[in-house]
Amino acid sequence: MMSADNSPIKPSKSFNEIEIVEDFENQDTLLKHVDISIVESEKRANGTLHVRDHYTVYLIDLKVNDPEYKLVQSKISTIWRRYTEFEQIHDYLQVKYPHVVIPPLPEKRVLYAWRKSDTTDPEFIERRRAGLENFLLRVASHPRLCFDDQFINFLQQEHGWRETITDSGYLLLAENKLKSLSVSIRLKKPDPEIESVKNYGKQLETNLGNFLYTRSKIIEKNYALCKLHADYGKLFSEWSVIEKEMGDGLQKAGHYFDSIADSIDAMAEDEEQLADQLKEYLFYAGALQHLCTNHEALQRNLEIAHDTLNNRIAERNRAAAGKSGLMSRLFGTTEPDIVRDQSTRALDTKLLADRQAIDTAHAQLQEFTKKATAEIEFFQKQKDRDLHESLVSFITLQVKAAKKNLQAWTQIKECIQNMPA
């Protein structure tokens, strides 16, 4: 398997040199050379008849559109993947690239539903298919993520991929990180920019969550209201049968009432797709906060390294004064010179290691901050563009639906007015 280093198409800059948004846009990505789509889904059984023992797989279709590109194994390939495998590659990327705002997966369970639904519903499975495809496209267009060997293998390696990614050791790293992140981190001097980004992520998550909740309540009421117009349609149609002069007008009006009831289905489906776009950024907000937490962990490591050095210096000073031993501290006696010299030499060695630990922690934090800053700017630009488009489409859809209903009511009014008096 070829990696990004021996790919025939070289990035314009090293990944470590990606410092501004323009650097991202100038990078080579996998998506510039291949087409990726999820063309279908299929329900399979675990071997029992219980409905919960069924699972869904998704067919990834990969086509190379650049004849000179050699990174992928074949020009056309297809492979089935379960949602749990998508979770694996997502978790792997999250561990491997802690400074990246990792593209999120679509919801595992139905969120902000406005009518009864579960993960076995064909509509939910289709929307998840679209969300998983979007995840692949996001990763394939990200210059840091797209050439990762495990991601390339995910798209092509039919057998043994689970074992390969497990052998990468990401699970142990994820477990260790989970333990470190489970401890509440209180920094002495939090980075104000990272704090600002983290707070923004929380507010974005709250605002989008509230928007989706409100939207679910409104579409639930609106759907029920529109469907009730079918009662008007039935009433007017039945009424038209007993009326000679007004019959045609009543029947036409009934058809327009039926059109109001029927139109809500397509509108609700379109709105659901737009809601999924907003859900993506609801989950993106969590990924943004995760990046900030990773930064805090590195900053905490640096603070711990400084504390260790300061404590060691104090210990060395006590040793130099002959006050480091238990007896000297209890009774105020001074240790012999030979003991004092041995203690100070041993502590000098540890001080050297402590200073090296600080240099290492500082370099790691600096490198992380440089990469994360570029990632955050890249995400913000993408988020502004996508949310603007989604919100405009959402409002346009509401206006279109309102105009359509107004037109139907106008036609109903004309039908009634044109009836003989």
The pLDDT tens digits along the chain (421 residues) read: 344 443 333 344 455 556 666 667 778 899 999 999 999 999 888 765 555 678 899 999 999 988 877 777 667 789 999 999 999 999 999 999 999 999 999 999 999 999 888 888 899 999 999 999 999 999 999 999 999 999 999 999 888 888 888 888 888 877 776 666 555 668 888 999 999 999 999 999 999 999 999 999 999 999 999 999 999 999 999 999 999 889 999 999 999 999 999 999 999 999 999 999 999 999 999 999 999 999 999 999 999 999 999 999 998 888 877 655 545 554 445 556 666 778 888 889 999 999 999 999 999 999 999 999 999 999 999 999 999 999 999 999 999 999 999 999 999 999 999 998 7
Whether 152 and 242 map to the same domain: the answer is: no
Full residue range of the structural domain in which residue 365 is found: 216-418
Whether 274 and 125 map to the same domain: the answer is: no
Whether 147 and 254 map to the same domain: the answer is: no
Residue 198 buriedness (CB in 10 A; 0-12 / 13-18 / 19+): buried
**Predicted TM-score of the model (pTM):** 0.86
Whether 176 and 241 map to the same domain: the answer is: no
Whether 171 and 221 map to the same domain: the answer is: no
How many CB atoms within 10 Å of residue 406?
10
Whether 178 and 35 map to the same domain: the answer is: yes
Q: Is residue 207 part of a domain?
A: no
Check residue 9 and give its pLDDT.
Answer: 37
Cα separation, 386 vs 285, whole angstroms = 14
Amino acid, single-letter form, for residue 14: S
Check residue 340 and give its pLDDT.
Answer: 73
Residue 121 φ/ψ, nearest 5 degrees = -65, 135
Whether 374 and 265 map to the same domain: the answer is: yes
Sheet (strand 76-82) strand order: 34-45, 54-64, 76-82
Q: Domain ends where: 182, 204, 226?
A: 182
Q: What is the CATH number of the domain that holds 120?
A: 3.30.1520.10
Whether 149 and 289 map to the same domain: the answer is: no
**SS3 letters for the chain?**
CCCHHHCCCCCCCCHHHCCCHHHHHCCCCHHHCEEEEEEEEEEEECCCCCHHHEEEEEEEEEEECCCCCCCCCCCEEEEEEEHHHHHHHHHHHHHHCCCCCCCCCCCCCCCCCCCCCCCCCHHHHHHHHHHHHHHHHHHHCCCCCCCCHHHHHHHHCCCCHHHHHHHCCHHHHHHHHHHHHHCCCCCCCCCHHHHHHHHHHHHHHHHHHHHHHHHHHHHHHHHHHHHHHHHHHHHHHHHHHHCCCCHHHHHHHHHHHHHHHHHHHHHHHHHHHHHHHHHHHHHHHHHHHHHHHHHHHHHHHHHHHHHHHHHHHHHHHHHHCCCCCHHHHHHCCCCCHHHHHHHHHHHHHHHHHHHHHHHHHHHHHHHHHHHHHHHHHHHHHHHHHHHHHHHHHHHHHHHHHHHHHHHHHHHHHHHHHCCCC
Whether 169 and 230 map to the same domain: the answer is: no
Total count of residues recorded for the chain: 421
Cα separation, 166 vs 89, whole angstroms = 10
Bridge partners, residue 61, by sequence: 37, 78
Q: In total, how many domains does the chain have?
A: 2
Whether 61 and 136 map to the same domain: the answer is: yes
Q: Is residue 202 part of a domain?
A: no
Q: Is residue 131 part of a domain?
A: yes
Check residue 5 and give its pLDDT.
Answer: 42
Residue 33 buriedness (CB in 10 A; 0-12 / 13-18 / 19+): buried
Q: What is the CATH number of the domain that holds 252?
A: 1.20.1270.60
Whether 58 and 132 map to the same domain: the answer is: yes
Q: Is residue 16 part of a domain?
A: no
Q: Domain ends where: 138, 166, 182?
A: 182
Q: Domain ends where: 131, 158, 182?
A: 182
Whether 260 and 328 map to the same domain: the answer is: yes
